[in-house]
Structure formats: C-alpha cells, structure tokens
Amino acid sequence: SSVVISGVGLWTPTHSISNEELVASYNAWAENFNLENKSAIEAGELAEKPFSSPAFIEKASGIKSRYVYAKDGILDIKRMRPILDVRDDEQVSHQAEMAISAAKEALKSANKTAADIDMVIVSCAYTQRSYPAIAIEVQAALGIKGFGFDMLVACSAATFGLQRAVDAVKSGTSKGVLVINPELTTPQINFTDRDSHFIFGDVATAVIVESSDTCQSDHAFDVLSSKCVTAYSNNIRSNFGYTTRTTDEDPYSADKLFHQNGRKVFKEVCPMAAEHIESHLQSEGIQVSDLKRWWLHQANINMNLLISRRLLGRDATIEEAPVVLDEYANTASAGSIIAFAKYHDDFITGDIGVICSFGAGYSIGSLILRKR
Ligand code: CO8
C-alpha cells in the first residue's frame, strides 16, 4: 500500500480588492500623510511617502487582485487594517471558520467523513491565538476523534504539514489526516507600506492524506516522497509576538508587521528552490521532463518563471506551471495547494507532478505526486 492525497478543498473569501482599489486607497493615505507632515518633510526630518501604482504591482509581481476575509477597514485611510468582529469564547473563531469551510470541501472531495479522520493539522503562517489550538477547535466542530495541533512554517506551512501527515500515515500513527491552511494574512499586512501593501491575500485550503488501502477517491495521487529544508534568514520577518506587550513598543510599528527585503529574497530563494526541486526529483530517479505539472508557490510570477527557466532551460507553459497569484496574490503557504486544487483534473494514471513551496524562514518544501 502507499500514502495518498485523496482530496483537496479550497475556500475562497467572497470579498476581493483589485490593484486599482488598493492603490487608490494607499495613494490617498500617502497624500494625506505628506500634507499633514509637510513642514517636517520640508525640514528633512521625515521622508515623503512615495506613491504606488497598479502598473508597477502587476509588472513586478503578476498580482492583479486579492481576496480578503474582511474588506471593511482595509481601504479606509483613517484605519488601513481590516475590521474583524470580536467573538466570545463560545463562538467559532475567524480562523477556524475559514478552516472548517476548506476542510468540508476536502472531506467531500476525498469521499470521507469525520469518522475516517483521526489527526488534524492546522498549518499556516499565523494562528489567531496560541491555545487552545485552532486545530482542536476545528476537530471539535467537525466531530473528529483523535488529536489535532497547530504548526507555523510561514510560506511552507502547507508542504511541511503534508510531510508530517504522510509520515503519520506511513508509520501507522494515523489512518486519515486532515491538513488545513487557513491563511488569514491581511491582519499582518502594513497597508501603509508601498513596497508590501499589494502582496498578500486571504484563503483557506485543506488536504486529506490517507493509506491507499482506505482510499475511496477516483482522483487520488500517490505521494512518492516529500522533502523539506530550512535555512535561517532575516529577509522576511515579523517581530510581533506574545512578548510584544512587555517591551512597551508600539504593537502596530512597521517591524511588528510583515516586512521583507524583496530583492534579496528573490535572488536567494529562486536558486534554492530550483536546486531543491532538482535534487528531490533526482533522489526519486525522475527527470524534470517527466513532470506534467509544477504546482509552485505563488509569491511572484517572475520568481516562478526564473525557477522554471533554471530547470527547463525555457519558460514553463501555463499548463506546466499554472498561475493563481494573479487572482489570489500571495496566500502564504496555501498558494501551491490552490494551484493543485484548481489544476489536477486532467491528470491520467501515471502522470507526475510536484508541489513546491518557498519563502520565509527560509523554508522550502516539496512533494512528488503520481496520479493513481
Ligand atoms: N508602486 C510603485 N513603485 C514601487 C512600489 C509600488 N507599490 N513598490 C516598490 N516600488 C519601487 C521601489 O521603491 C523601487 O524604487 P527605486 O528603484 O527607486 O528604489 C522600484 O519600485 C523597484 O523596487 P524593487 O526593487 O523592490 O522591485 P522588485 O522588482 O524587486 O519587486 C517585489 C518587488 C515584488 C517585492 C519582488 O522583489 C518580490 O516579489 N520578491 C520576492 C518576494 C517574496 O517572494 N517574498 C516572499 C514573501 S512571502 C513569505 O515568505 C510568507 C511570509 C509569511 C506570510 C506573511 C503574511 C502577511
């Protein structure tokens, strides 16, 4: 028997924000900032806020739009962050709500019920709270026995979570694992930072991992192997954490939110990801040309083109490396899973594809899949 991915679920928020809407709001905020701080700027005490542009965003990243869990507040130049309603302890939390929606889709797609699952992993870039785990809240809401836990691995949370799931099924620890990636990124975005205000969107994805012995899905994939690697870097960082209140610093200051050295990330991560994929395939005796599809991390279209050029010696076609970041933007760890969820129906038995994530940490994770 083998370990299989038997189902995948995608929950897309109903609200979206186009580049044009986002830039109009940011530029109005910047204009207002420059007016309010005119004398300090003229005295050279403060830097003028530069303007953003939809054309730059699309050219530099490939992003045209993003979905958001809560749109209210984000575009309000007096606020520049989403408004989430306060929920009491007895209500389902925002992140669990997203997770449950994606999980239900994944269960349906795998032809499974709660009784078939005994392990829940919520793996994403941020969790709304430290405890009780979001995974345990989801487990209770869905009526799943066994255990659940949360994992944080930034952009590679989904692939690293899947590796844990594959190992658990392989070792017999678990008969069925639900891996969920509720990526609620917008609360951590600095919408007043021109360099990063456009990068992220919200989404939730979920995947069912089980043994081929129990699989009841006609669109399942054997997981041939998985490979994870990390290498410490401060080029993508957020300093917000549970100790923030002890320092008396401003919890909203720029260093407490997502910030990055985008150029360095681009330069350093592309070769790492290309080498990672190449060596992973090699270890399985698979050639790059054997791959039907690459479900790549969705941070930047130019990054994905560069990676495929390094591996193929040419640009990958849209069929080989599908793009979802134009519509979804960067959704932290969920991007490669969205691509997988949307683009796998055309696979026939024996077709091979690779899921690969790369990002903060740095962290890189890949899984080689073969259609059953
Ligand atoms: N509008 C107009 N001009 C702009 C804008 C803008 N919005 N932003 C920057 N510019 C300007 C810059 O100021 C710069 O001007 P100058 O040359 O005068 O200094 C010029 O445009 C060029 O800027 P860059 O060199 O920065 O532009 P790039 O072509 O490098 O593109 C990118 C910037 C898009 C950020 C690009 O570098 C990139 O995508 N890099 C890779 C980043 C990446 O993949 N990061 C991964 C982050 S995600 C992750 O790891 C998950 C973290 C956890 C989740 C967090 C959730 C919140």
Q: What is the pLDDT of residues 216-232, one digit of tens each?
A: 999 999 999 999 999 99
Can you state the angle between helices 262-283 and 301-312, rounded to 10 degrees?
Answer: 40
Check residue 252 and give its pLDDT: 84
Distance CA 336, CA 299 (A): 10
Distance between Cα 64 and ligand 1 center (Å):
14
Distance CA 40, CA 270 (A): 40
Q: Which residue minimizes the CA distance to atom 47 of ligand 1?
A: 359
Q: What is the pLDDT of residues 149-203, one digit of tens each?
A: 999 999 999 999 999 999 999 999 999 999 999 999 999 999 999 999 999 999 9
Task: Ligand 1, residue 53: give the atom nearest the CA.
Answer: 1
For the Cβ of 30 lying below 6 angstroms from any atom of ligand 1, the answer is no
Provide Rg for the chain, Cα atoms. Answer: 21
Rounded to an integer, the average pLDDT of 300-317 is 94
**Active site annotation includes 124:** no
Rounded to an integer, the average pLDDT of 344-354 is 97
Task: Ligand 1, residue 59: give the atom nearest the CA.
Answer: 29
For the Cβ of 261 lying below 6 angstroms from any atom of ligand 1, the answer is no
Check residue 12 and give its pLDDT: 98
Rounded to an integer, the average pLDDT of 109-118 is 98
The DSSP bridge partners found for residue 119 are 147, 177
From the list 155, 215, 270, 356, the catalytic residue is 155
310 three-state secondary structure = helix
Residue from 51, 64, 263, 264 to probe ligand 1 pocket by mutation (most atoms less than 8 Å from CB): 263
Distance between Cα 187 and ligand 1 center (Å):
19
Tell which phi-psi region holds residue 361, choosing left (phi > 0), alpha (psi between -120 and 50) or beta. Answer: left
What one-character DSSP code corresponds to residue 200? B
Distance between Cα 1 and ligand 1 center (Å):
45
- What percent of the chain is predicted at pLDDT more than 70? 100
For the Cβ of 260 lying below 6 angstroms from any atom of ligand 1, the answer is yes
Residue from 330, 333, 362 to probe ligand 1 pocket by mutation (most atoms less than 8 Å from CB): 330
Q: Per-residue pLDDT for 284 more than 90? A: yes
Q: What count of Cα atoms within 13 Å lies in the side-chain half-sphere of residue 22?
A: 36
Q: Which helix (H) or strand (E) element contains residue 91? A: none
Distance between Cα 10 and ligand 1 center (Å):
27
Assess contact for 98 and 80: CB atoms under 8 A: no
Band of residue 39 on the pLDDT scale cut at 50, 70, 90? very high
**For strand 176-183 and strand 363-371, is the pairing parallel, antiparallel, or unpaired?**
unpaired
> Considering Cα of 46, then 47, then 53, then 56, what sign does the dihedral take?
negative
Tell which phi-psi region holds residue 314, choosing left (phi > 0), alpha (psi between -120 and 50) or beta. Answer: beta
For the Cβ of 333 lying below 6 angstroms from any atom of ligand 1, the answer is no
Angle CA(80)–CA(363)–CA(244) in degrees, nearest 5? 45
Measured from the Cβ of residue 239, the count of other Cβ atoms closer than 10 Å reads 14
Structure tokens at 188: 């951590």
Distance between Cα 197 and ligand 1 center (Å):
9
**Taking all residues of the chain, what is their mean pLDDT, rounded to a whole number?**
97
Task: Ligand 1, residue 61: give the atom nearest the CA.
Answer: 34
Q: Which residue minimizes the CA distance to atom 56 of ligand 1?
A: 185
Check residue 81 and give its pLDDT: 97
Distance CA 342, CA 140 (A): 28
Q: Per-residue pLDDT for 251 more than 90? A: no
Q: CA-CA distances (angstroms) from residue 182 to 99, 155, 204?
A: 5, 12, 4
Q: Per-residue pLDDT for 14 more than 90? A: yes
Q: What count of Cα atoms within 13 Å lies in the side-chain half-sphere of residue 318?
A: 5
Distance between Cα 9 and ligand 1 center (Å):
30
pTM score of the predicted model? 0.97
For the Cβ of 188 lying below 6 angstroms from any atom of ligand 1, the answer is yes
Distance CA 130, CA 246 (A): 17
